[in-house]
Chain A
Amino acid sequence: MAVSIKFPGMQRIVTNTDSIDMPITENTRVSDALQYVRQQHPSLPLEEGLVLVTVNLEAAPLDRTLRDNDTISFLPLIAGG
């Protein structure tokens, strides 16, 4: 089983890729994905409270359990213009 972690915007430039795949088990959570990205791309600043976590484009908490083929993004907290 695996999930895809997408890198939008400036994250794509820092990581030099659109996405990475992460193998998961039945108990893998969103917080594990965050940790995985930090290990794979330590130069990518991802601070809890400064990003909106989405799973399959829906906002998700860090303790949500991941499923096969889920798509995860760590998005900016866009609130205005």
Chain B
Amino acid sequence: MAIAREAEPVGSLNEVREAGLDREDLLGIYRNMLITRGLEERGHILYKQGKIPGSFYTGRGNEAASVGVATAMGAEDVGTPLHRDMGVHITRGVEPWKIFAQFMGRIDGPARGRDGNVHMADQNLGLIAMVSHLPAMLPVATGCALAFRIRDESRVAVGWFGEGASARGDVHECMTLAGTRKLPIVYVCDNNQWAYSTPTYLEYATEHVADRAQAYGFEGVVVDGTDVLAVYREAKRAIEKARAGGGPTLLECLTLRMEGHAVHDDAFYVPKIMFERWAESDPVERYRTWLQQNAEMTDDEEAAIVEQVKHLLNESLRRADESPMPTADDLIDGVYAEPEELETPHHK
């Protein structure tokens, strides 16, 4: 039996306005979702061209969840997005050419070729680079919230994890700390139903991951992660609640991982019917239809956005491809930070 609250879908334009979005915002969200998907689709092409070393991970199917939550964040809020959350980087304003450069191990990627994939972040945009150990970033996000609480700032931290990562002890430890100290944090679980090849019933025995929130003393909410506006509304509620001193929320976005764990995985273990059923609520298609029916998005308007995104991504790819590979000289420096690096606005 579910303990977490199951969120309602967002129906009308009026409800959206109540949640704080105008028409411009709505089209911006669509644009960000298209950039997110388009960027990862081009990543696949780069991979097939042999331009991406190692493997390649995407968040297809998770665009609404990632863009929806990021849209609800304030400029001063911070987050620790993971490998299905490209939409967070895009929404916070990371330039796509730097992401392509990162994919290809080039010197202009945020990690300068030292790390790959979505293991990157622009700290000036309030993001912290993830590690492969899931969900090790959750305690880090909790520590950000702790800093905000110590300094009595009205900022909120957002920490992402998946339903697979929910099995790890990190989740329990940091939610215990955040619950007891009522920290300003929102835990976002991208539940895409497959942890590599492991289905949900082998990861957790409750109906929802969010059901656990009650045990930590805060609210759990489950939202349809393919409905970008419902995700936005719930994330906004949770973030503003945290900002107002109401403590953490565990927001679970239910989606489906529409591709394999990574490019090397054909996901043979996912029942075909599952893909077919979820394809019917593809987040990008679903939102496009909603915009046409509720926000009077015209064909011309849509075509203009699509064209703009295509141009942006093509230009970004071209620019990224001009970025050189790192050399052996780029390996050694920076293992340790220098004192003057702490002379930043963050560390003052």
The answer on A and B forming one complex is no
Chain A positions near chain B (C-beta within 8 angstroms): none
